Structure 1
Amino acid sequence: MSIINNIFFFVIALSILVAVHEWGHYYVAKLCKVKILRFSIGFGKPLYKRVTSSGMEFVIAAIPMGGYVRMLDGRVDDVSEVQQDLAFNHKPLYQRFAIVAAGPLINIIFAVFILMAIGMIGQQTIKPIIGEVQAGSLVDGSGVSQGDQIISIGGRETNNWRDVSIEIATYSGEQTMPLTVIDADSRQRQLFITLNGWKVDPDSQSLFDALGFTPFRPALTKTLGLVSENSPASDGGLQLDDEILGIDGTTFNNWSQIVDFIEQSPKQKVKLNVLRQGTNVVLDVTFGVHPEDSTKGYLGVVPYQGAWPEEFVQEIELGVVDAFLYGLNETWRLVSVTFEMLGKLLTGDISVKNLSGPISIAQGAGTSASVGLVAFLSFLALISVNLGIINLLPLPILDGGHLMYFTVEWLTGKPVSEAVQDIGFRIGAALLFVVMGTAIFNDILRNI
């Protein structure tokens, strides 16, 4: 079901973004009076086809991995004398440039309005307050303490953990990272974390773990929020909302003590004392063996997390103007960070292991959708910005490659020859194949 959920929301997200991208090309082409032959969302066999009053075919195809707008073009079509003015290749250079640039740019503009909608819908976010600092880590000794709130990194404001994650990622390959924190007594401090060439490796640990701290989270309770099916817990009669009081006469103050007891007792039969709807119940339970470590015991339950302190939670709901400004600011932030990360990828400051392909995108779509509408919209805005920027890269097979050829035509006064363009497209396709192959390979390694 998880895989189906991921695929479903991946298709939804990609179809929306492709439709927006191709609409950008379509809309500007119509303004420039170019004849549109086909508007396709997806590739391959058409699942749905409709011919509009203008003669254009609108198609939804079977493979939802992209799309295209096919325009009348004298380089590939037989164009009659009457239709010369309707062909893409006969339009002035500035119009051709605008038509091609419209796709990537509309993706970025689309992100502004998505984020504007998020601001108007309202969202509940958690302040980035530090939980624990690991001894001997990069953060340890820098002055960062438990309970500090990170309010900015490198001068960029951080209102939540998403902001913190984005800003930390941009410092991969740097020597120091400046951050500003405020403690529980409202005392503000400017600190510097020595990174010593620290690089982000998503396969080994999270950004926070790599630096040596954990975000604050309320302590786990002893009350069960999940009892796995066909687990030692369900076989022993444990139920949702049971509170574990003791095991074999041993009482516990917190959940970590319960976990320690279970992990130290694989295959052991115990009497488990729980509080169920105000009544003490004793159950005979036999611990299993942990699926990832045969030396540890396993029960198959997940507890509820405690409530967040009110002062750690912030509600954000904006009016139309403020929401629009919020959308602009957040989109610009995503654009600038994406360019920074691409630059660090080219210089080697960021490992190619950070590249993600369709599997990771599908997982992100499914996970964000399961969290809620705001999370899915945030994910959509991020991917929309990335799609726009990637399409602007000067690879001949992408929109940016066409724009590069148009720029050469503007500088030299004549179009790039068909032979040179063909070679460029072949090289661009090969490079794109290598990048996509690497991304898919990374996806596979992360999921085996």
Structure 2
Amino acid sequence: MNTLISIIIIFGLLVFIHEWGHLYFAKRAGILCREFAIGFGPKIFSFKKDETVYTIRLLPLGGFVRMAGEDPESIQIKPGFEVGLVFNGNNKVSQIIVNNKSKHQDAKVVTVEHIDLERELVITAYEDDVLQKFKVDEKAELIYDEQPTQIAPYDRQFGSKTIPQRAMAIFAGPLMNFVLAFVILTIFALLQGTPVDQSKVGMISPEGAAFEAGLQENDRILAINGQRLETWNDLTTVIQQHPNQELTFEIERDGMQSTVQVTPDERVGQHGDKEGFIGVGQATEFSILGSVKYGVTETYMFTVLILEALGMLVTGQFSLDHLAGPVGIYNYTGEAAAMGIFVLMKWAAILSVNLGIINLLPLPALDGGRLMFIGLEAVRGKPVDPQKEGMVHFIGFALLMLLMLVVTWNDINKFFL
């Protein structure tokens, strides 16, 4: 249950902040955003605020922001159609009743001769064999099966905006994932403190091997078994590799150097193997500036590590079996949750950076793929044919789904079979 709650919170936060980035910058550019969705498939919950419908959908595999102009309008009105028109106080059409006109007694029924809901915003139609022209409000609604859909004049559509505006609306999603990772890691540092010295000992457990060996707070651990230590991670790695084995610690205390014999205790590690631990924490301090710096440096470090792993995957140094899909992420999130809130916070930051990087890859159906097409438009001076671009994205999405199925099957074999 803790794993399920953790994954819902983390996944929901990561997807929400990603899609919110798209939504915020799209609206700033003046793009009509029809829907902000968490998940795919059938709607579970929805509400409308201003021009946007906010929904939670059944399949928790991501999210989307549906912007006007990205997809063909689903309701087409052709010459000869009979529609009902409802007018506002400015004598402009505010509602266009496509069917079920008998349910709208106040609507004026006309036969369409010409309709333009993108640029001119006019309807030319016959009423009692008299041809008339009606102006349409820029926020008018099409009513089909009693469901309203706001029209999208061309200046409210995605394609009408400048290349920088469109690029920012797409790039903002991954960008917000990096920002989220920075915020999580900064809060982590504010709560836990930031390292004072890579080798300086902080809290010591009174029941651990370090306390029994005589290590004290503020001791600096210089080397273990003659191996010099550059980072705290070097220290923990050596200790984890030697459970129940006596180690010689070279320490500095009050300016004097000495050696201490420490035998790490044994525990079960994250992946089920045995590892050593001695019950010490790194010396830390609490400062706002230090926490912000920690947030920046750790976000950068995670970014570099993930990019290096992707590079190894491309060159064949990293097996596809090492990739984790939904099942693997669920399993690792459970392990992180079991190790405490601070480990879970770091794991959430890693997932957020990973989501940002993956979405920026120049692959069809991902944000990076869409940015690639915008870049091609900037170079060519004209956009790529929308039908061709749509087909590329469709094929790319299908291939991504296939990859997810393969990775998920590997996860099932790894964790359950």
TM-score range, shorter chain: 0.5 to 0.7
Compared CA separation, residues 371 and 185, structure 1 to 2 (3 A): closer
- 1:55 matched to 2:55? The reply is no
- Cross-structure match for 2:69: 73
- AA in 1 matched with 2:162: P
Task: Please say if residues 194 and 290 of structure 2, whose CA atoms lie closer than 8 Å, have aligned partners that are also in contact.
Answer: no
Structure 2 matches for 1:266-415, cutoff 5 A? 308=278, 312-415=280-383
Distance in 1 (CA, whole Å) between partners of 2:264 and 2:16 is 39
- 1:151 matched to 2:230? The reply is yes
Structure 2 matches for 1:172-321, cutoff 5 A? 184-185=250-251, 217-219=264-266, 308=278, 312-321=280-289
Compared CA separation, residues 124 and 100, structure 1 to 2 (3 A): closer
Once the two structures are superposed, residues 362-420 of structure 1 have per-residue CA deviations (whole angstroms, 9 ceiling, x without a partner) of 11222222222211110100000000000001111100000000010001101111243
Q: Larger deviation: 428-437 or 20-29?
A: 428-437
**What is the deviation of 1:318?**
3.0
**What is the deviation of 1:102?**
0.3
Compared CA separation, residues 413 and 307, structure 1 to 2 (3 A): closer
- Cross-structure match for 1:84: 154
Structure 2 matches for 1:15-30, cutoff 5 A? 15-30=12-27
- 1:99 matched to 2:169? The reply is yes
Distance in 1 (CA, whole Å) between partners of 2:39 and 2:238 is 33
**What is the deviation of 1:306?**
10
With a CA cutoff of 8 Å and minimum separation of 6, indicate the structure with the bigger relative contact order.
1
Distance in 1 (CA, whole Å) between partners of 2:157 and 2:367 is 18
Q: Is there any run of 5+ residues in structure 1 with no aligned partner, and where?
A: 132-143, 166-181, 187-214, 221-304
- 1:13 matched to 2:10? The reply is yes
Distance in 1 (CA, whole Å) between partners of 2:155 and 2:27 is 13
- Cross-structure match for 1:442: 410
- Cross-structure match for 1:433: 401
Task: Please say if residues 356 and 443 of structure 1, whose CA atoms lie closer than 8 Å, have aligned partners that are also in contact.
Answer: yes
Distance in 2 (CA, whole Å) between partners of 1:407 and 1:401 is 10
- Cross-structure match for 2:270: none
Larger CA Rg, structure 1 vs 2: 2
Distance in 1 (CA, whole Å) between partners of 2:382 and 2:263 is 61
- Cross-structure match for 1:37: 34
Compared CA separation, residues 354 and 163, structure 1 to 2 (3 A): farther
What SS is found at the alignment partner of 1:414?
A: coil
Distance in 2 (CA, whole Å) between partners of 1:421 and 1:163 is 52
Distance in 2 (CA, whole Å) between partners of 1:353 and 1:74 is 36
Distance in 2 (CA, whole Å) between partners of 1:340 and 1:114 is 23
Distance in 1 (CA, whole Å) between partners of 2:381 and 2:22 is 24
Once the two structures are superposed, residues 123-147 of structure 1 have per-residue CA deviations (whole angstroms, 9 ceiling, x without a partner) of 6999799x9xxxxxxxxxxxx9648
What SS is found at the alignment partner of 1:151?
A: coil
Task: Please say if residues 200 and 282 of structure 2, whose CA atoms lie closer than 8 Å, have aligned partners that are also in contact.
Answer: no
Distance in 1 (CA, whole Å) between partners of 2:12 and 2:343 is 18
Task: Please say if residues 75 and 89 of structure 1, whose CA atoms lie closer than 8 Å, have aligned partners that are also in contact.
Answer: no
Distance in 2 (CA, whole Å) between partners of 1:51 and 1:444 is 39
- AA in 2 matched with 1:368: A
1:117 to 184, 187, 204: 187
Task: Please say if residues 158 and 164 of structure 1, whose CA atoms lie closer than 8 Å, have aligned partners that are also in contact.
Answer: no
What SS is found at the alignment partner of 1:395?
A: coil
Distance in 1 (CA, whole Å) between partners of 2:265 and 2:199 is 13
Distance in 2 (CA, whole Å) between partners of 1:111 and 1:435 is 26
Compared CA separation, residues 17 and 325, structure 1 to 2 (3 A): same
Task: Please say if residues 357 and 440 of structure 1, whose CA atoms lie closer than 8 Å, have aligned partners that are also in contact.
Answer: yes
What SS is found at the alignment partner of 2:66?
A: strand
Distance in 2 (CA, whole Å) between partners of 1:387 and 1:161 is 28
Q: Larger deviation: 77-86 or 388-397?
A: 77-86
Distance in 1 (CA, whole Å) between partners of 2:238 and 2:372 is 33
Distance in 2 (CA, whole Å) between partners of 1:147 and 1:48 is 61
Task: Please say if residues 24 and 106 of structure 1, whose CA atoms lie closer than 8 Å, have aligned partners that are also in contact.
Answer: yes
Compared CA separation, residues 355 and 128, structure 1 to 2 (3 A): farther
